[in-house]
With several copies, the nearest count.
Chain A
Amino acid sequence: MAILDQGPPHYKKMLPPIVEENYGKWKYHEIPRPGVLKHVGESGAALYSVRVGTPRLVSIDFIRDVCVIADEYCDGYLRWTTRNNIEFLVSDEAKLNPLLEKLEAEGLSVGGTGRSVSNIVHTQGWVHCHTPATDASGVVKAVMDDLYEYFNTMKLPAKLKMGLACCLNMCGAAHCSDIAIVGVHRTPPRINHEVIRKGTEIPSLVASCPTGAIRPDPKNKSVIVNEDKCMYCGNCYTMSPAMEIYDPKNDGIAILIGGKTSNARTSPSFSRMVIPFLPNTAPRWPETTEAIRKIVELWIANANDGERVGEWVERIGWERFFTMAELPFSDMLIDDYIFSRETFRTSAQFKY
């Protein structure tokens, strides 16, 4: 019989001795080279963390390979980061360079520290979810390949934190990212009346729609969608597979930028939509990688030292950003939802 409610494995069992000894007594850190953090304790002890990018979706063989490396260079200790990178925890400075060589040899990617782009927080996509408007892992792979030179160096103006969510549920919590890649459906669900009649709970289905776009159609023993009210959120599809929300022709990607969650300097902020749609050009989404690269290069060329994407855009003004980025501005980018009013320019101050 399984033990219920025993909780997670105890973290204390997972800490390397150097962490136990210096627990809560770290004094400062340095970044001796991209991908390597050096944390120094009050005791003078130094811990090197070597950060390695992963596709997040990994096989057990990958994990076992990683364990082999950790055993050899890290006394068997390692961790993952909040962005799904691995950190090899090296307490013996002598093992640092050998480890780096080993990683190089294995083709693993060291980077993601300091002023770099780190792994993209992302989601399931076509691999495992039922409402995706795009794939997750594939887009991430294409974008990270393209931005690789900014992963293994630290030559950006500031950290670049990206997120991807394959539908509006935003499991990638992309809504506060420097650059957010969001899968969007753009057409109302097609109703499979057969499937509905076969056993969908119509009241629950009606209730699932946040905009009240679905109403019962008793005659037909099915439902009707008011297409003017639908915002393609896919909530109804989660309720019933009869509400086919996927649409290969029209599904795709929106780009939002300028969000952050740290409180450093400026308060956390939401990402804002700058491109309402890019096509799902699998397998490598060239329109998406190109659009992102353009924004990143513009930011590099124009931001002040240390300025996150959003801090830069807010300083120069969004109207200026659209000009500089040569991105078309359209009514789709103007908010028309609950908190729209705060986005309207209630000021005579603006740039042309």
Chain B
Amino acid sequence: MTEKNTPLLDELEKGKWPSFVTEIKRAAVKSEAAGELLQVLERSYKERRGHWKHGGIVGVRGYGGGVIGRYVDEPQTYPNVAEFHTVRLLQPSGWFYNTKTLRTVCDIWEKYGSGLTNMHGSTGDIILLGCKTEHIQPIFDEFSEAGFDLGGSGSCLRTPNCCVGPGRCEHACYDTLEACYNITNEFMDELHRPMWPYKSKIKFSGCANDCTSSIARSDCSVIGTWRDTLRIDQDAVKEYAAKIDIKAAVCDKCPTSCLTFNAETQELSVKGEDCTRCMHCINVMPKAIQPGKEKGATILIGGKSTIVQSAFMSWVIIPFMKMEAEDDFAEFKDLMRRIWEWWDEHGKSRERIGETIYRLGMTKFLNGIDVPPVPQMVFRPRANPYVFWNQDDLDRSGTALDGSKL
């Protein structure tokens, strides 16, 4: 293709927000593939339809995923993007980089690929956008050499990600960066070699603000929280009192109405047992209020997007779990193994774990993973009386005709 005219895309170089068209054009200077991408895209803009095809499985030796095969639908017209695969690289926890590492990524990608990337993919990976089949293995080899590894794709553990956490946030209730790193490493086999009914995702957020949106975007959401009562620094409260209306901005918006601001003494008090740790008051007054001392995480299961059974949000299955690097996150890892095993055994093909649990019922799931039911798992108990009774339960609760317990 020689046509370099992109009148429609050019419209997207106008305006204040940085332009992806400009970026593709920059890449096109060095990469013919990027140049052709521009042409294909201009055509999509004209015709209002995509021109990419799914296709044969592509990958690297030893792994079952990590590369997304992609082909243009008119390979003769666009030979340089006839194959235009995506390579997913595991990102460092919290997307922290030093420039040396970033330059390494750029250099290797310049050698073999389109020079286009997504920083980052929606799941969290470094996305290298567009390369030929023959280059996949060399790309992997060189990245591997440089200390990188492939991310997940297919029916496997997908690349976990985490919020900035203790790296730069005062709210972090556990070490999200270490948890993400350590746990990703633990499950390398699960991540690189698809073997489950469908994909499974984990996201780590340091507190209930959930800056990774884990509750909506991952099958397992690990959300930092605390077991005791939040801590209030009354001097700092007084500072805030001079600037904001604490009653209106904080107390009145507390979902459990458990905060009281005494306008006279300028003191803030909390009914600790009522607080649901929603983070609101802490968000507004980070200098004055901080989480309690006994920190850990709530584990929620089931989040996913729309297809097939509707979007699900994760729900609580462990209200509070210690998440300590010291014991190597052992309890969490053990739990995940039990969960995946159960799902692997009971899930249908292309059924996310939330859907499997919904289909079979929480009871079967909890029994299967050996977790005791607690009321924290539900907003409210069942409204129907369709309880399933097994013989054990009957034996414990029946009554003989003489009125004696069986």
In-complex A–B contact (CB below 8 Å): yes
Interface segment, B168-176, B260-268, B329-337?
Answer: B168-176
The residues in A between 58 and 117 inclusive whose CB is less than 8 angstroms from any CB of B are 58-64, 66-67, 70-71, 76-82, 84, 86, 89, 107-109
Q: Judging by beta carbons under 8 Å apart, are B19 and A351 in contact?
A: no
In the assembled complex, the Cα of A64 lies from the Cα of B26 at a distance in Å of 12
**Given A175-B216, A265-B278, A346-B313: A129 touches B147 (CB 8 Å cut-off):** no
Known: A264-B209, A337-B384. A7 touches B188 (CB 8 A): yes
B86–A128 CB distance below 8 A: yes
Q: Which residues of B contact A296 (CB under 8 A)?
A: none
Task: Please tell me if the beta carbons of B253 and A265 are within 8 angstroms of each other in the complex.
Answer: yes
B320 close to A352 (CB less than 8 A): yes
Residues of A with C-beta under 8 A to B90: 7-9
From A49, A60, A77, A173, B98 is in contact (CB under 8 Å) with A77
CB–CB A9/B147 < 8 A: yes
CA distance A299 to B268 in the complex (A): 29
Evaluate contact between B249 and A306: CB separation under 8 angstroms: yes
Q: Does A312 contact B (CB under 8 A)?
A: no
In the complex, what residue of chain A is closest to B302 when comparing beta carbons? A344
Known: A28-B287, A53-B17. A262 touches B99 (CB 8 A): no
Q: Report the nearest B residue to A41, measured CB to CB.
A: B170
Judge whether B278 and A318 touch: CB under 8 Å: no
Q: For chain A residues 173-187, which have a beta carbon within 8 Å of chain B? A: 173, 175-176, 182, 184, 186-187
Does A218 interact with chain B (Cβ within 8 Å)? Answer: no
- Residues from chain B with Cβ under 8 Å of A24 in the complex: 166, 172, 175
Does A281 touch B at the CB level, under 8 Å? yes
User: Is there contact, CB below 8 Å, between B381 and A53?
Assistant: no
**Of residues 358 to 397 in B, which have CB atoms within 8 Å of A's CB atoms?**
358, 360-364, 366-367, 373-389, 393-394, 397
Whether the pair A82, B161 counts as a contact (CB closer than 8 A) is: yes
Using A84-B120, A138-B45 as known contacts, say yes or no to A345 and B383 having CB atoms under 8 A apart.
Answer: no
Give the residue of A125, A235, A334 whose beta carbon is less than 8 angstroms from that of B377: A334
Residues of A with C-beta under 8 A to B48: 248, 251, 280, 282
Is B212 located at the chain interface by the 8 A CB criterion? yes
Q: Contacts A329-B373, A336-B362 known; A176 to B313 CB distance under 8 Å?
A: yes
B386 x A337 contact (CB < 8 A): yes
Within the complex, the shortest CB–CB distance from B329 to chain A, in Å, comes to 14
In B13-38, the 8 Å CB interface with A consists of 14-24, 26-27, 34, 37
Contacts of A55 in B (CB 8 A): 17-20, 22-23
A261, CB-defined interface residue at 8 Å: yes
Cβ–Cβ contact B379 & A241, under 8 A: no
Q: Which residues of the partner chain B approach A347 to less than 8 Å between Cβ atoms?
A: 215, 316, 379
Instruction: Specify which chain A residues have a CB less than 8 angstroms from the CB of B149 in the assembled complex.
Output: 5-8
Which of A86, A107, A336, A346 interacts with B215 by CB under 8 Å? A346
**Residue in contact with A349 in the complex, picked from B20, B37, B277, CB distance below 8 Å:** B277
How far, in angstroms, from A259 to B383 measured CA to CA in the complex?
Answer: 9
Please, which residues of chain A bring their CB within 8 A of the CB of B192?
4-5
Residues A276 and B387 in contact, CB atoms below 8 Å apart: yes
Q: Does A194 contact B (CB under 8 A)?
A: no
Task: Tell whether, in the assembled complex, residue A130 and residue B70 are in contact, meaning their CB atoms are under 8 Å apart.
Answer: yes
How far apart are A89's CB and chain B's nearest CB, in angstroms? Answer: 8
- A75 shortest CB reach to chain B, Å: 9
Q: Are A14 and B92 in contact (CB under 8 A)?
A: yes
Residues 32 to 66 of chain A near chain B (Cβ within 8 Å): 39, 47, 49, 53-64, 66
Residues A108 and B141 in contact, CB atoms below 8 Å apart: no
Q: How far is the CA of A342 from the CA of B248 in the complex (A)?
A: 31
Partner of A82, one of B93, B212, B366: B212
Is B80 positioned at the interface, with any CB of A under 8 Å from its CB? no
Nearest-CB residue, chain A, relative to B313? A346
Instruction: Report how far A70 CA is from B102 CA in the complex, Å.
Output: 11
**A64 neighbours in B (Cβ, 8 Å):** 102-103, 106
Q: Assess A39 versus B120: contact at CB under 8 Å? Given A9-B148, A249-B398.
A: no
Q: Which residues of chain A from 1 to 25 have a CB within 8 Å of any chain B CB? A: 1-11, 13-15, 19, 23-24
**Chain B nearest Cβ from A32, distance in angstroms:** 14
Establish whether residues A67 and B103, one from each chain, have CB atoms under 8 Å apart when the complex forms.
Answer: yes
B57 within 8 A of A: no
Given A28-B170, A81-B95, A268-B210, A348-B119 contact (CB < 8 Å):
no
- Mark each residue of chain B from 141 to 153: 1 if its CB lies under 8 Å from any CB of chain A, else 0: 1001101110000
Residue contact B381 to A14, C-beta cutoff 8 Å = no
* Closest CB in chain A relative to B184 CB, distance in Å: 6
Shortest Cβ distance from A211 into B: residue: B308
Contact B319 A128 (CB under 8 A): no
Tell me the complex Cα distance, A5–B62, Å: 9
Does A148 contact B181, Cβ atoms closer than 8 Å?
Answer: no
Residues of B within 8 A of A82 (CB): 161, 163, 211-213
Q: Which residues of B contact A125 (CB under 8 A)?
A: 50
A84 touches B119 (CB 8 A): yes
Q: Please state if A256 and B211 are interface contacts (CB–CB under 8 Å).
A: no
Most B CB contacts (10 A, CB to CB) among A237, A249, A322 go to: A249
User: Which B residues are in CB contact (< 8 Å) with A127?
Assistant: 20, 37, 41, 129
A338 adjacent to B310 (CB under 8 Å) = yes
Q: Is B270 an interface residue (CB 8 A)?
A: no
Contacts A26-B166, A283-B11, A345-B376 known; A141 to B20 CB distance under 8 Å?
yes
Contact A273–B208 (Cβ < 8 Å): no
Assess whether A59 is in contact with B93, with CB atoms less than 8 Å apart.
no
B4 within 8 Å of A by Cβ?
Answer: no
Contact B279 A231 (CB under 8 A): no
Q: Are B18 and A53 in contact (CB under 8 A)?
A: yes
Assess whether B185 is interfacial by the CB under 8 Å rule: yes
Q: How far is the CA of A148 from the CA of B197 in the complex (A)?
A: 43
Q: Which residues of A contact B346 (CB under 8 A)?
A: none
Contact of A283 among B9, B84, B181 (CB under 8 A): B9
Nearest CB in chain B to that of A349: its residue: B276
Name the A residues within 8 Å of B2 (CB-CB): none
Task: Indicate if A222 sits at the interface (CB-CB under 8 A).
Answer: no
Once the chains bind, are B166 and A62 in contact (CB under 8 Å)? no
Q: How far is the CB of B162 from chain A (nearest CB, A)?
A: 9
The CA of A350 and the CA of B311, in the complex, are separated in Å by 22
Q: Is the CB of A6 within 8 A of B298?
A: no
Q: Is A217 part of the contact surface with B, judged by Cβ < 8 Å?
A: no
Given A241-B54, A351-B275, 18 other A-B contacts at CB below 8 A? A4-B62, A9-B90, A14-B97, A26-B172, A55-B22, A59-B34, A81-B164, A121-B122, A130-B70, A141-B19, A169-B306, A261-B214, A262-B279, A265-B255, A270-B311, A314-B380, A340-B362, A345-B377
Task: Pick the 10 closest A-B CB pairs, nearest first.
Answer: A336-B361, A145-B15, A344-B315, A2-B144, A335-B382, A11-B93, A170-B305, A346-B313, A8-B90, A24-B166
9 contacts between A and B (CB under 8 A): A26-B169, A53-B18, A109-B17, A130-B53, A270-B383, A273-B382, A280-B48, A282-B48, A352-B319
